[in-house]
A and B are shown apart, each in its own frame.
Chain A
Amino acid sequence: MDIIACIKVVPEEQDIVTLPNNELSFDKVQWKIGQYDLNAMEAGKQLAKKTGGKMKVLTIGGDALSKTKIRKDILSRGADELNIVVTDKKLSDSLITAKAIAEALKEMGSFDLLLFGTGSSDIYSQQTGNQVGALLDLPVLNEVNAIEECEAGLKVERMLENEVEILELPVPAVLSVTSEINTPTIPGMRDIMAAGKKPVNELSADISSISEYSEVVSDLAPVQRDRQQKIVKGEPEEMVEALIQFLNS
């Protein structure tokens, strides 16, 4: 089964700084693979292995994607090939991203399965996979918690709020997976070495003319409540005493 995992490179949350005016500064951020996209790549890797296929990775984003380190990081997680669209277009809306992905896919040839994480760890709209599926007119599902090959194509388990659905669908198809579907493996030395030898294709997809559907007015940190910040160290007895006093006050 030929699989393409679509992933997003996102800012490391811990490096985002809140400025005194409550705006955010991204000046010092490192870029990393979105947390939930690791699950998508792991699911792709496992399914490709089981079905004797390949997994390619597609990612679209800004300058951060030009760095060798992040490219190697992606390739060390089981991808056979990395496809990149570097753009200065702000992908602030899932439909813009979905359209850009659909455009990039035209250059990548056929596939059986497109995989997405449940949401990007920065904006977390949980929509890109759904919208790519709709744009390409393919069967599409979100919150998929298990995938296997079957006669009809794929058999999947999907998590709803109060029940689990077992569904069958033909390929090609588009699935977004949960963060519980697997535990992403940490790449070993050998994976990291091999990553350097895998192909990286910079696609020429022109996405400049995709229009915006919304406008970001502001991103502001929530106002923090003042806390007493009374810190107690020492013997467990003293600490428990302090806690009980606090509860009774």
Chain B
Amino acid sequence: MARRRSIIFRAPESGIIEDNARVIADLLQAQAPELVLLSNSTRGRLLAGKLGAYLDTCVISGISELNEETTRRMVYGGAAFRTQKLTAKTAVVTCSAGIFEVSDGQASPDAAVETMSAADTRIRKVETQAKEGVSSNIAMAKKVVDMGRGFKEEKDVEMCRELASLLGAELGCSRPVAENNGWLPKSVYIGVTGIILKPELIIALCVSGQVQHMVGINQAKKIVAINKDERAPIFNSCDLGLVGDIYQILPLLIEKLK
């Protein structure tokens, strides 16, 4: 096995770490690895894109599977999984947290550690602000209440939260509820670009059932859907579907559960 070597790059005080891409690319070029793995975070993706361009190779981002020669990732908003073969010498791949199981004993204490910093300095960091951190256990939850865009007002979040707490469930939502309405944090929206769940039960409220959302809930053991539109596609992929107005059903359900 090749000698393990760790190099730590530091961003200069007023810069960003991604601006080290050129130096990192030069190092990689010299080593000619078959695979460069990065996290599918905002920084990871920018770094991956720059490395791919500098090394003249493809970047495959947000993979869900990595094999000897191929990767798999979702395309067309979850309508399909794409299997892709990497024909370039060095493949750059980004993957999200939770794709691989972490095993012990990978850390290598005898690795040589060097520190480098040679950033492109055109981008200047003025400041960073903390985002209001909302912690949620939704990824691990056994039961999930899934709030869709059909709700009228922000205060309806409380109804959903109450149902969730009565069921011992976590509250998640569809993308528009988090991104367009800003009613719940982005970290709890479910779907192809959000989180993908595998709970025992999901209760989808006012969710129409578009494929980008469904890929996030389809692996649930049981799906219950409440929607007033009987033609909503979610009724084709649920175990129990209630066709009716959420504002009549939900208060009654909460009352009964109490």
Q: Are A236 and B244 in contact (CB under 8 A)?
A: yes
- Chain B residues with Cβ below 8 Å from A93 are 58
B7 at the interface (CB under 8 A from A): no
Closest to A222 in B: B81
B34-59: CB near A (< 8 Å → 1, else 0) gives 00000001110110111011101111
> Bound complex: CA of A246 vs CA of B202, how far in Å?
12
A214 vs chain B, min Cβ distance (A): 5
Q: Using an 8 Å CB-CB cutoff, how does the interface string of B73-86 with A read, 1 for contact, 0 for none?
A: 00111111111111
Would you call B108 an interface residue if the criterion is a C-beta within 8 Å of the partner chain's C-beta atoms?
no
Contact A228 B58 (CB under 8 A): no
Say yes or no: is A193 at the interface (Cβ < 8 Å to chain B). Answer: no
List of B residues within 8 angstroms of A168 by Cβ? 123-124, 126
How many residues on B have C-beta within 8 angstroms of the other chain's C-beta atoms? Answer: 80
- Once the chains bind, are A183 and B180 in contact (CB under 8 Å)? yes
Does A135 lie at the interface of the complex (its beta carbon under 8 Å from any beta carbon of B)?
yes
B residues near A94, Cβ cutoff 8 Å: 49, 52, 58-59
| A155–B77 CA distance with the chains assembled, in angstroms | 32
Name B50's contact: one of A140, A170, A228, A240 (CB within 8 Å): A140
B23 within 8 A of A: no
Interface residue tally on A, bucketed by range: 35 or more
A169-212 CB contact bits vs B (8 Å, 1 = yes)? Answer: 11000000001100100000000000000000000000000001
**Roughly how many angstroms separate A124 CA and B74 CA in the complex, as a whole number?**
9
A residues in contact with B128, CB < 8 Å: 163-166
- Once the chains bind, are B77 and A217 in contact (CB under 8 Å)? no
With a cutoff of 8 Å between Cβ atoms, the chain B residues found around residue A143 in the complex are: 42
In the complex, are the beta carbons of A169 and B76 less than 8 A apart? no
Question: Cα distance A221–B82 when bound, in Å?
Answer: 9
Task: Find out whether the CB atom of A13 lies under 8 angstroms from the CB atom of B86.
Answer: no
Neighbour of B76 across the interface among A13, A158, A217, A239, CB < 8 A: A13
Residues of A within 8 A of B167 (CB): 247
Which residue among B50, B62, B91, B235 has the maximum number of chain A CB atoms within 10 Å of its CB?
A: B50
- In the complex the two chains form, what is the Cα distance from A230 to B46 in whole Å? 46
A214 and B45: CB pair below 8 A? Answer: no
Q: How far is the CB of A168 from chain B (nearest CB, A)?
A: 5
- Chain A positions 31 through 46: 1 when the CB is less than 8 Å from some CB of chain B, otherwise 0: 0000000000000000
- Residues of A near B230 (CB, < 8 A) are 231, 233
Given A130-B50, A159-B42, A236-B248, does the pair A221, B241 have CB atoms closer than 8 Å?
Answer: no
- B88: chain A residues at CB < 8 Å are 213-214
A229 and B253 in contact, given A98-B53, A139-B122, A217-B70 (Cβ under 8 angstroms)? no
Instruction: Please report A residues at the B interface, Cβ cutoff 8 Å.
Output: 11, 13-14, 16, 18, 24, 93-95, 98, 121-127, 129-131, 133-135, 139-143, 152, 155, 158-170, 179-180, 183, 212-222, 224-225, 227-233, 236-237, 239-240, 242-244, 246-247
Some 30 contacts from A to B, beta carbons below 8 A apart, are A14-B210, A94-B52, A125-B61, A127-B59, A130-B46, A130-B48, A131-B52, A131-B53, A161-B42, A163-B131, A166-B128, A168-B123, A168-B126, A215-B85, A218-B83, A219-B75, A219-B81, A221-B80, A221-B81, A222-B80, A222-B215, A227-B223, A230-B239, A232-B240, A236-B244, A237-B252, A240-B252, A242-B240, A242-B242, A247-B201
